[in-house]
Amino acid sequence: MLSQQHNDKLCLTSPGTPMGDVFRRFWMPALLSREIAEPDSAPVRVRLLGEDFVAFRDSEGHAALVDPHCPHRGANLFFGRNEKGGIRCAYHGWKFSRTGECLDMPSVPCTSDYRNTIRLKTYPVRESGGMLWAYLGPEGTAPELPQFEFTEMPEAQRYVSKKRQQCNWAQCCEGAIDTAHFSFLHMALSDDEDEMQAAMAHSDLGATDKMKRRIRWIKQDGVPRFSIQPHDAGFLVGAARHADGDEIYWRISQFLMPNHSLAPGAFPGENHHGQTFVPIDDLSCWIYCYSWNPQRALSEDERAKFIAGQGIHAEVDAQFMPVRNRDNDYLIDREEQRLRTFTGIKGLSEQDACIQDSQGFIADRTREHLGPTDLAIVHFRRAMLRAADVLSTGTAPPSTAHPEAYHVRSGALLAHKETPLEQAMVFHHADPAWRIQPAPSALPPHEPTR
């Protein structure tokens, strides 16, 4: 458990908070690129880390993120006109470029140089991977963009989406790196492979015999053994479950500072998935979701399923609010829950949201009782709190200096029961086969729960 002081320190990200300062030293997704797709399109409201902004794309197609209030009288530039290289305030016509320069001041005599003394506050913006990334930290401190693999993929090989969630960012991120819950939250009640697969129809696992076996292994072993490998961008999480015979099913996930998670499960050649949890304020967040395939273009069928809410993606309305959400109890079907699934809720994304939201708008970690499968959660909290402590001494979080360290994958593999994670991962990256050879060993004793 955490003390109330540490819980607040972990969760609160508004201006002036320790964790808010940490977040402001990293690039954050602010919008999907398609939200301001065209030059001179309508401005868009943006709220991040408890602050309000306005985003627009100028006549040359460059994106901008600016203070929402005109320096003249404070009118909101969301109501401004995006035109001819800048955004013009609708109140008195003052116009500003994406870099904050005042381009026109029609309410002031043309002989005055007053225009040259006024600037609109702007923030660095970069476009990468179908998203607009913003840096909200002190001027001159922006690091390089993190080098995620999905951002380097051609557009045909990736799909990105976002969804709003009605709780604090930290419990969403913890839910993503807690892979033990897959044995229960997303599972069918039956032990029949076909019924288990049907219950996960909205996953990205498909219906092949190989996929069905993976689901069976996850269900039958609800006490995975966790291993943590720190690296410059965060840490790798390995969860080992019994498979068939002498084999172990490893599911490998990644936590990347300060708010990114790469999902486990993909074998070589399959689609990879990740999420970024961006605080809107202390009681809600955006979850940016990305799926990609390093070897090939995504098919039309795959894209259609992602749009419909498969796997980490959610079925959302025009404001990116999931159709099944806190306000309608996620359209829970109690008969489905009684007869077929643990939750009676449709969609893996919505099942995750239900449980994370149910912890409260901000989870009270002072009441927790953690167990062995919470190892990744403990490491996450330590990493975040340590980053806040380090920054309080004037030192930027170390991972900001290693953008290349974000170029990692999650995944899955089968290994002999005596293969340690360290060697398994070496084989996994070097050999596309989904089984690897035995190696000298060292997995701790373990008995499955059922």
> Where exactly does CATH 2.102.10.10 map onto the chain?
27-134
Nearest of 244, 22, 213 to residue 136 by alpha carbon:
22
What is the predicted pLDDT for the residue at 37? 95
Contact 55, 31 (CB under 8 A): yes
pLDDT tens track for 113-151: 999 999 999 999 999 999 999 999 999 999 999 999 999
pLDDT tens, position by position, 390-431: 999 999 999 999 999 999 989 888 888 777 666 655 544 433
Residue 193 is predicted with a pLDDT of 63
Q: Is 326 helix (H, G, I), strand (E, B) or coil?
A: helix
Q: Which DSSP string do the residues of 146-173 spell out, in sequence order?
A: P--TGGGS-GGGEEEEEEEESS-HHHHH
The DSSP bridge pattern shows strands 122-123 and 63-66 to be antiparallel
CA atoms of 8 and 199, how far apart (whole Å): 37
Q: State CA 89 to chain mean position distance.
A: 34
User: Which of 40, 28, 33 lies closest to 155 in space, CA to CA?
Assistant: 33
* Backbone dihedral angles phi then psi of residue 126, each to the nearest 5 degrees: -130, 145
Give the C-alpha separation, 415 to 240, whole Å: 10
Position 421 scores a pLDDT of 64
Query: Among positive and negative, which fits the CA dihedral 374, 359, 350, 164?
Result: negative
| CATH entry 3.40.1550.10 includes domain 150-430 | no
Which parts of the chain register pLDDT below 70?
192-209, 420-450
206 has which bridge partners?
none
Considering only CA atoms, which of 14, 30, 33 is closest in space to residue 22? 14
One CATH from 2.102.10.10, 2.40.128.50, 3.90.230.10, 2.40.160.10 for 27-134:
2.102.10.10
Residues of the chain with CATH 3.90.380.10: 150-430
Specify the pLDDT at position 296: 95
